Amino acid sequence: MAARPPTTKRTTTTSTSLPAAGPPCTIDPTAVIADKAQLTGSHPVTIAEHVVLHPYARIRAEGGSVTIGPYCIVSEGAVVGLPEGQQGDVVLERWVNVESGAEVLAKQVGEGTEVGIQARIWEGATVGRFCRLTPTEVVGAGEEVGDFTVVFGDGRRRVDKTIVESEEVRNARVKGMEKQVEALRKLVPDGKAKWIS
For β-strands 138-139 and 25-27, DSSP reports them as: unpaired
For β-strands 120-121 and 138-139, DSSP reports them as: parallel
d(CA 111, CA 132): 11
Q: How many CA atoms lie within 13 A of 13 on its CB side?
A: 2
pLDDT at residue 18 in the model: 40
Are the CB atoms for 115 and 92 separated by under 8 Å? no
Q: 136 φ, ψ to 5°?
A: 65, 5
For every one of its 197 residues, what pLDDT tens digit does the chain have, with 9 covering 90 and above? 556 656 655 555 444 434 445 789 999 999 999 999 999 999 999 999 999 999 999 999 999 999 999 999 999 999 999 999 999 999 999 999 999 999 999 999 999 999 999 999 999 999 999 999 999 999 999 999 999 999 999 889 999 999 999 999 999 999 999 999 999 999 999 999 888 86
pLDDT at residue 196 in the model: 80
Question: What is the torsional sign of CA 93, 105, 97, 145?
Answer: positive
pTM, full prediction = 0.86
For β-strands 126-127 and 108-109, DSSP reports them as: parallel
CATH architecture, domain defined by 25-189: 3 Solenoid (2.160)
